[in-house]
Amino acid sequence: MRYILLAILLVSSVYLARATHNRAGEFRIEQIGDLTLRVTVITYTKTSSIQADRDSLTFNWGDGTFTVVQRANGNGMPLDNDVKFNMYVAEHTFPGRATYTISMFDKNRVGNILNVNPPNSISIPFYVEATYTFLNPQFQGTNNSVILLQPPIDFACVGERFVHNPNAVDTVDNDSIAFELVIPLADSGLLVPKYSFPDQIVPGPFNNISLDPVTGDFVWDAPQAVGEYNIAIKVKEYRNGVLISSVIRDMQILVVNCNENSPPEIDVLDEICVVAGETIDLDILVSDPDPNQLVRLSALGGPFIHNSSPAVLISQTGYQASPLEAGFVWHTTCDHISDHYYSVVFKAVDNIFDTTGLAALKTLRIKVVGPPPENVETRSDGDVIRTTWDSPYACEVTQDDYFKGFSVWRRESSNQFELDTCQTGLDGQGYQKIAFNIRDQEGNSYFYDDANVEKGRTYCYRVLAEFAKTAASGLAFNRVESLPSDESCIQLNRDIPLLTKVSIEETDPNDGVVSVRWSKPLVAQLDTVENPGPYRFSLRFGNGLDTDSYSPVPGADFSSPVFLSWRDTTFLHEGVNTSATGLRYIVDFYANDLANPIGSSLPASSVFLDISGTHEANILRWSYNTPWDNYAFDIFRKNDLGDFELIATVEDDTTYTDIGLENEIEYCYKVIATGTYGITDIEDPLINASQERCNAPMDNIPPCIPVIEVQNVCDQTTPGIPEDEIVNTVTWEYPPINCTQFGDADMFRIYYAPDEGLDFEFVDEVPATGTQFFYAHRPDKGIAGCYAITAIDELGNESDLSNFICVENCPFYELPNAFTPNNDGHNDIFRPYPYRFIDRIEFQVFNRWGNLVFETTNPDIEWNGTNLAGKPLADGVYHYICKVFEASETGNEAPSILKGFIQLVAGSN
């Protein structure tokens, strides 16, 4: 029997030695029905491992069922370097709409993987999985996994930078894709044992890895040891910001010694954005720094597999002399429009090993954007503003009803931003979407009528084209916006005045001067028959940028019997406080009835400047409330001669920090705003000045935040050390590492909290003398608690709290197991050993029949061997139970339970 067992073991060992198998693998998932998927598992195995070749694999569908799936590509496809390509395809209908983890388990990897359970990777199972969510296809559309175009077997050279890109595409659903480097799996939820990331094999400053979560570029710079390595990349898909699926690629990198061979170099753009309909025609140059090396170029990516006008790589096949000139051509169409970048991964390989060699990858990212709607115009018609734009639109004819129509966007006042071909949509530009799916046409124009408008306000419009995938119900998902159209601005029926200037000319609390200007109503839009003369303008003002309380401006009341005699008016408002607050103005317009206005301008305020000082700097902040758009601000500072000099211009912001100043020296400023209504017949630009404001910088920057440690001797002492000898020692160095803030600490404040989550209380102060500091502290009860400190400079600026560190008590309470209460002066009293951090106890002693004979709450116990009635107990063994309550500031700790026996020996019967 012994010999039979030995023979079995020998056979098993031989089998294991040759059962090396899986190199790499991944999933692909296609939704072919409401709850039905077509799932493909792709594996790359070791061709020479014939005994371990799998003509079938078992799919775990994640719904409690399993399927044995036959290989779909015959006996597999042998490739170079002892690699075989295998495909297993199956269809499955799931019981309901949910999220499932679909997986494949195989019991063997290849042997000798340096970073998987070395030196015995062959015994580690190979496991890949995909997480899939069934969406509601009627409303959310279908869900198909990414396709990974770049094979998961790659080669690298020792000492040379290595790049791999999975080249993930989702041309079906157009979902967002992200990448994450993870540890390979041995089973569901089980990481492979003893795994090391590749940079931990011969680690050092020249061995680093990274994964770009956006592009998917895995960079290893650079391998240091020959051998086989495995990494895992999780590729995640998001729709509307929600994770809907993921696949894990478990891939292999074969590192060889290339005898100081350098990889080829690829010269091509990194990124390009084009408008749909344009042709991309890029030159590609491949060169090799090593003489006499041939190079070969290939490319993979979404543009090559798109069903509408796929891209073409123009290059000679096979190995060619270096340098190799090639081209990439893609005639883009409207069906290529996407919110996401397409990736084209160019791969150049030299022939150092005759049929293969060292490779270089270069990723070209391409974004195809929708063209902007053209010739946007606005006109007012009564109480409605009509916006029109050209028909037909360049991309209104698409496959699968991809073009959905137009959205109209509006804002008050103009925003003339510079168009960026890579930036679609209008997010962050201050526009609000007021209509979508617009396709109404009139003649050669699309149009939209906006009835939600008010007189006197300036409205600016832009139009976007929108594209989207279509769910079974016809609802759109994964919407994509085009480039924005040009802006068109208009004011509805300008039959009221329009303020164009509120500028501070003199700053003074009593004798300030404000220049106010307004434009009269348009003659063509004022019905002088319905509103005959005489006409009157009256200017009112209020204190504050948002005030609704106005008073007449003395001398700013004008009247005329004829409207045509009016011109735009400028008025100097004198004798007003321009120092304390901003001022807001409004113009009332009267016709015929000079007591009741027919309308008023929209209110407009001055620019109000505020300043706060900090160390060697002044922080300027300004505010305003105007019906026009202020888009640029010139910052002026008064020089030594008393003249204002321009020191900066700020765009689209209302704050500026003037640095490099001297503390305690006063500096004076004013801000001049440049704005526009965006209306052709209104003066442009609009220039308005703030009041003058002065301020002196001051040192109000606190010192650097300290970093503390807390130690006590609980863990390093014998159990019997008295508690009054144990303290918490807070230690810190100052200044801390990486401290860049100005100023030194003058004092440190110590703070203590009884427990984590409770408020810190001030304990003490420590002078900041030296660089090494400590503070010893002992709470009233126990030593448990949390500590933090702050640093204070000589001006009283206090830093934020440092890191806080909490420590626990180290209570100790032990009881002896015998005593002799015979009044001989030795061991007459039952007491605990020296204890610490004990608040109270509940100590009970029972005889052999379970009767209570003694109890106390005194931690010292002090039992003299008598019962509850004070009579001596007989010699014998007594059982005790002792609840021990720890001393602490909170008193919330649960008691410890001690149980045991006491031998009472008094010499009595």
Q: Where are the beta strands (DSSP E) in 544-676?
A: 551-560, 569-576, 583-591, 599-600, 604-605, 608-614, 617-623, 629-638, 644-651, 655-659, 667-676
Q: What is the pLDDT of residue 20?
A: 54
Check the CA dihedral 66-70-72-76 and report its sign.
positive
Helix (H, G, I), strand (E, B) or coil at 722: coil
CA Rg value for the chain: 41
**CB 731, CB 748: distance < 8 Å:** no
Q: What is the pLDDT of residue 415?
A: 85
Q: What is the pLDDT of residue 12?
A: 32
Q: Which helix H or strand E contains 312, and what residues bound it? A: strand 312-314
Q: What is the pLDDT of residue 715?
A: 58
Give the contacts of 469 (CB within 8 A, at least 6 positions apart): 141, 173, 174, 400, 402, 476, 477, 478
Angle at 621 between CA 642 and CA 647, to 5 degrees: 40
What is the distance between the alpha carbons of residues 94 and 33, in angstroms, rounded to a whole number? 10
Q: What is the pLDDT of residue 14?
A: 32
Chunked in runs of 10, what are the mean pLDDT values of the chain (909 residues)?
A: 29 37 94 94 92 91 95 91 93 95 93 92 93 88 92 90 92 90 94 94 94 94 94 95 94 88 90 96 94 90 90 93 95 94 92 77 93 94 90 94 95 85 91 95 95 84 94 84 94 84 97 94 77 89 90 92 78 96 95 86 95 94 93 96 96 94 95 89 92 94 91 65 79 86 83 90 92 89 89 90 89 92 93 89 94 96 95 94 85 85 83
Q: What is the pLDDT of residue 4?
A: 28
* Pairing of the two strands 785-792 and 488-491: unpaired
**CB 104, CB 57: distance < 8 Å:** yes
Structure tokens at 838: 């004990």
Q: What are phi and psi of 335, to 5 degrees?
A: -75, -10
What is the distance between the alpha carbons of residues 792 and 468, in angstroms, rounded to a whole number? 58
**CB 175, CB 141: distance < 8 Å:** no
Global pTM reads 0.62
Q: What is the pLDDT of residue 799?
A: 92
